[in-house]
Amino acid sequence: MNQDEYITLYHQMVLIRHVEERAAELYQQGKIGGFLHLYIGQEAVSTGIISVRKPQDRVITAYRDHGVAINCGISPNQVMAELLGKATGCSKGKGGSMHMADISKNFWGGHAIVGAHLPIAMGMALCDQYREIDAVTICRFGEGASNIGFFHEALNLGKVWNLPLLWVCENNQYGMGTSVERASAVTEIQQKAAGYGMPSACVDGMDIMLVRQAAQEALDYVRSGKGPYLLECFTYRFRGHSMGDPERYRKPEEVKKWEEHGPIDIYCKYLVKNQIATEETLEAIDDQVKIEVDAAVQFAESSPEPAPESLYTDIYVDSIDTEV
Amino acid sequence: MALITMREAISQALWEEMERDPNIFIMGEEVGVWGGSYAVTKGFYDHFGAKRVRDTPISEAAIVGGGVGAAIAGLRPVVELMTINFAFVAMDHIVNQAAKMHAMFGGQMKVPLVIRTTSGGGRQLGATHSQTPDAIFAHFPGLIVVAPGTPYDAKGLLKAAIRSDNPVLFIEQATLYQARGEVPEGDYIEPLGKSKIQRPGVDVTIISYSKMLEISMKAAEQLAKEGIEAEIVDLRSLRPLDMKPVLESIKKTNRAVIVEEGWGSYGVGSEVASRIYEQAFDYVDAPVKRIAQKEVPLPYNRQLEQSALPQVEDVIQAVRELVPGRG
């Protein structure tokens, strides 16, 4: 990586953090509806993985999707506008927090039924294999999704057909309020790969450099045509499952302990120690990001609501008369 | 025109479409080497190869979900669920994924997916393998639900389904596979979401679809001998539901019987009857009659099973009660 590339990663992580902190405020003010699942604490996972994908690689994830949306190149303006339900949002205000996508950037959503996007990822990878396109489908999911049947059907068939799939389990240790020990027979999720005959690895998801390296190795393996690979990223979410989380299932000391070694701090220290950037440079980026996020909020708030008649658009593709 | 079976008509549609467009592939349990549980895809594996005729494990969520993924990525999958009774283990991918993918992301993704499946009772398969839950799927906006009653319509509608950029659930009543009808050779399309008059008449309107079309046509033949001319409207698609031919017929006959194979509660008959009352109340001279399956899980025993399914005699009886002077 050259210096610009290092700085870009820092910029993205800080941008995700600030977009989400502002989103939390807007949620408290009632400007964002529905559920809001923050990615704060997990930024190194998404930023690291997406930084090593090729443009033709497809990305699909679960409902905690603001971070990956930004990593894939959706502008903070469009993310914020979607959160506010505006016509200028990446899903035209029809998707909301959990359903962001921009297929022109090969980001295929934002899926809110736990585990349901794993078979969909498998199908997208099938398309690329069918057309002999050199692309990997990167499918991300929480450790909670590894307990639903969809996971097992998709991992099995994906391997039977040796599809170009990188399964990325973001193990943030809690599925809502249920800890991984209380939910999964094996707490190290990568062990589940063995049952489906594919290699796996587990990486410290708080350290972006380690995530990058592990993701690169995994992608190289898949791209070589050997079939799927499961990469587990061990991480932690600093905020609740969603905004309405009483957090009775974990102690504040536990959260504090993780926050003290957060992904942005770790990367900050790495950049300074290796003389890639000075603290002043990084602070300047922080300030610049705050301005960017202010502008995104301004854009979203001043954007139009979807037109009333858009209620009936995009339900079917062709002119099928649904009113007959 | 050739006289062929429903099985042959469906098979022809699939074959011709696959010859036309290399993006079309088939995926499902026993569709390849076995030749299809109902022999619809017999010969396909040898002709089109393992890449385009894909045998899957018993993984319905992966079959439909994989179909959704392949469809949004640009292929045109025709996935097969061995029976609609297995659709329940793939329910999420049918109603939450296939049906919503286009709308939920603001129109970015298209889902040109066909889910072929078989339905219906009458084969002594017991309660879990004999259902006709078509109405459940027709409940969901975003899906198209088609259930042909003749070989002609099966071929034309399946071709339309495959060429549609929308997800289509294509329901084939299993006891209709042997039904024969005239089918032109080569290419033709029947429109999705359009009902059709299958028999003209003036005395009463019988509304049905799929297997119940066959039952209704037989009833109409017998009624004709009594001097009652029934007009038969075949819904063909349950969503979008085309009421126009139904309403036009009722304006002429002023009486209606709706025949469906599934349970009546919350069913197709309920929906059609409601729309008749909403849209043609002034033209209805007698309460609309609904004929449906008895409200029980279908039993194995042949006599018991048949007694729970709508029969020709039930339709004749209902019509006699409706038409003045013949009740």
Question: Which domains, ranges and CATH numbers included, belong to chain A?
Answer: 3-302 (3.40.50.970)
**Three-class secondary structure of residue B253 per DSSP:** helix
Res A322: pLDDT? 43
List all residues 6 or more positions away from B17 whose beta carbon is below 8 Å from its beta carbon. B24, B158, B159, B162, B163
Query: How many C-beta neighbours within 10 Å does residue B313 have?
Result: 12
Burial class (CB in 10 A: 0-12, 13-18, 19+), B129: middle
- Cβ of residue B72 closer than 8 Å to a chain A Cβ: yes
Beta-bridge mates of residue B208 = B234
Burial class of residue B261 in the structure, from the number of CB atoms within 10 Å of its CB (0-12 exposed, 13-18 middle, 19+ buried): buried
Cα–Cα distance for residue pair B222/B234, rounded to 1 Å: 19
Find out if CATH 3.40.50.920 is the number for domain B196-322: yes
Pick from A85, A196, A107, A188: which is nearest to A151 by CA?
Answer: A196
Q: Do B67 and A123 touch (CB under 8 A)?
A: yes
The residues, ordered by sequence, that sit 6+ positions from A142 with a Cβ below 8 Å of its Cβ are A62, A64, A114, A169, A170, A171, A172, A175
Q: How does DSSP assign A71-90, residue by residue? A: HTT--HHHHHHHHTT-TTST
Q: Which of B59, B79, B96 to mutate to test the interface with A (most CBs of A within 10 A)?
A: B59
- Across-strand partners of B293? B263
Residue with tokens 């467009």: B21
Q: Is the pLDDT of residue A317 over 90?
A: yes
- List chain A residues with CB under 8 Å of B70: 123-124, 126-127, 130
Q: What is the arithmetic mean of pLDDT over A267-281?
A: 97
Which chain B residue is nearest to residue A149, measuring alpha carbons?
A: B61
Give the pairing type, strands A58-61 and A137-142: parallel
Q: Which among B84, B89, B85 is positioned nearest to B57, based on CA atoms?
A: B89
How would you list the strands of the sheet with A200-204, edge to edge? A107-110, A58-61, A137-142, A165-171, A229-234, A200-204
> Residue holding tokens 């494990």?
B57
The shortest CB-CB distance from A320 to any of B62, B68, B166 is to B166
Give the mutation candidate from A58, A117, A120 for the B interface (greatest B CB count, under 10 A).
A120
The 8-class DSSP code of residue A129 comes to H
Parallel/antiparallel/unpaired status of strands A178-179 and A174-175: antiparallel
DSSP state, residue A306: P
HSE value, Cβ hemisphere, 13 Å, CA-based, for B20:
12
**A79, two tokens:** 């993310």
Judging contacts by C-beta atoms under 8 Å, the chain A residues touching residue B141 are 315, 322
3-state secondary structure B163-225: HCCCCEEEEEEHHHCCCEEEECCCCCCCCCCCCEEEECCCCEEEEECCHHHHHHHHHHHHHHH
DSSP A262: -
CB contacts of B57 in chain A (<8 Å) are 153, 156-157, 160
Interface contact A176, partner B, CB < 8 A: no
| Contacts across the A-B interface (CB distance below 8 Å) | 152
Q: If you ran DSSP here, which 8-state letter would residue B98 be given?
A: I
Would the pLDDT of A27 be above 50?
yes
pLDDT, averaged per 10 consecutive residues of chain B (327 residues), comes to 96 98 98 96 98 98 98 98 98 98 97 98 97 98 98 98 97 98 94 97 98 98 97 98 98 98 98 98 98 98 98 98 76
User: How many angstroms separate the CA of residue A275 from the nearest CA in chain B?
Assistant: 43
| Structural domain boundaries in chain B | 2-183, 196-322
Confidence band for A138, pLDDT divided at 50, 70 and 90: very high
Average pLDDT rounded to a whole number, residues A286-291: 98
Distance of CA B97 to the CA centre of its chain: 21
Which neighbouring-strand residues pair with A141? A169
By the CB < 8 Å criterion, does B279 face chain A?
Answer: no
Within 13 A of A116's CA, how many CA atoms are on the CB side? 21
B160 reaches A (C-beta below 8 A): no
Q: Are A168 and A176 in contact (CB under 8 A)?
A: no
Tell me the percentage of chain A whose pLDDT exceeds 70.
Answer: 98
B278 touches chain A (CB under 8 A): no
Q: Which two tokens stand for residue B171?
A: 């329901």
Whether pLDDT at A323 is above 70: no
Q: Chain B residues with CB inside 8 Å of A94's CB?
A: 103-106
Q: How far apart are CA B9 and CA B179, in angstroms?
A: 10
Q: Which element (helix H / strand E) includes A290?
A: helix A279-302
- pLDDT confidence of residue A320: 53
Structure token pair of residue A73: 């190149």
Two structure tokens written together for B280: 């043609």
For an interface test with A, which of B18, B51, B76, B105 has the most A Cβ atoms less than 10 Å from its Cβ? B105
Tell if the CB–CB gap between B73 and A318 is shorter than 8 Å: no
User: Residue B326: what pLDDT?
Assistant: 55
What are the pLDDT digits (tens) for A167-210? 999 999 999 999 999 999 999 999 999 999 999 999 999 999 99
Decide if A103 and B62 are in contact by the 8 Å CB cutoff: no
Which residues of chain B from 246 to 275 reach within 8 Å of chain A, CB to CB?
Answer: none
The partner residue sitting opposite B142, judged by closest CB among A126, A315, A324, is: A315
Q: What is the largest CA-CA distance in chain B?
A: 63
Three-class HEC string of B56-89: CCCCHHHHHHHHHHHHHHCCEEEEEECCHHHHHH
pLDDT beyond 70 at A267: yes
d(CA A263, CA A185): 28
Those of residues 145-164 in A touching chain B at CB distance below 8 A are 149-150, 153-154, 156-157, 160
One-letter identity of residue A30:
G
C-alpha triplet A191, A107, A146: angle, nearest 5°: 20
The candidate with the shortest Cα–Cα distance to A235, out of A257, A203, A265, is: A203
Among A244, A305, A292, residue whose Cα is nearest residue A89: A305
Q: Which residues from chain B sit within 8 angstroms of residue A318, using beta carbons? A: 164-166
Contacts of B65 in chain A (CB under 8 A): 116, 118-120, 122-123, 150, 153-154
Give the mean model confidence (pLDDT) for residues A284-303: 98
Task: With CB atoms and an 8 Å threshold, state whether A95 touches B104.
Answer: yes
Residue from the list A108, A128, A316 with its beta carbon closest to the beta carbon of B72: A108
Q: Which residues of A touch B51 (CB under 8 A)?
A: 130
Cβ <8 Å between A122 and B164: no
How far is the C-alpha of B27 from the C-alpha of B34, rounded, in Å?
13
**Residue of B72, B102, B193 with shortest CB distance to A314:** B102
User: Do B2-183 and B196-322 agree at the fold level?
Assistant: yes
Q: Do A116 and B65 touch (CB under 8 A)?
A: yes
Provide the shortest C-alpha distance from residue A142 to chain B (in Å): 19
Per the listing, tokens 């992904």 go with A263
CATH topology of domain B2-183: Rossmann fold (3.40.50)
pLDDT of residue A319: 56
Query: Which residues in chain A (95-114) have CB-CB distances under 8 A to chain B?
Result: 95, 99, 101-103, 108-110, 113
Which residues of B are catalytic, by number?
Answer: 60, 129
**Closest approach of chain A CAs to the CA of B69, in angstroms?**
4
Residues 50-69 in A contacting B (C-alpha not used; CB under 8 Å)? 58
Q: What is the pLDDT of residue B1?
A: 85
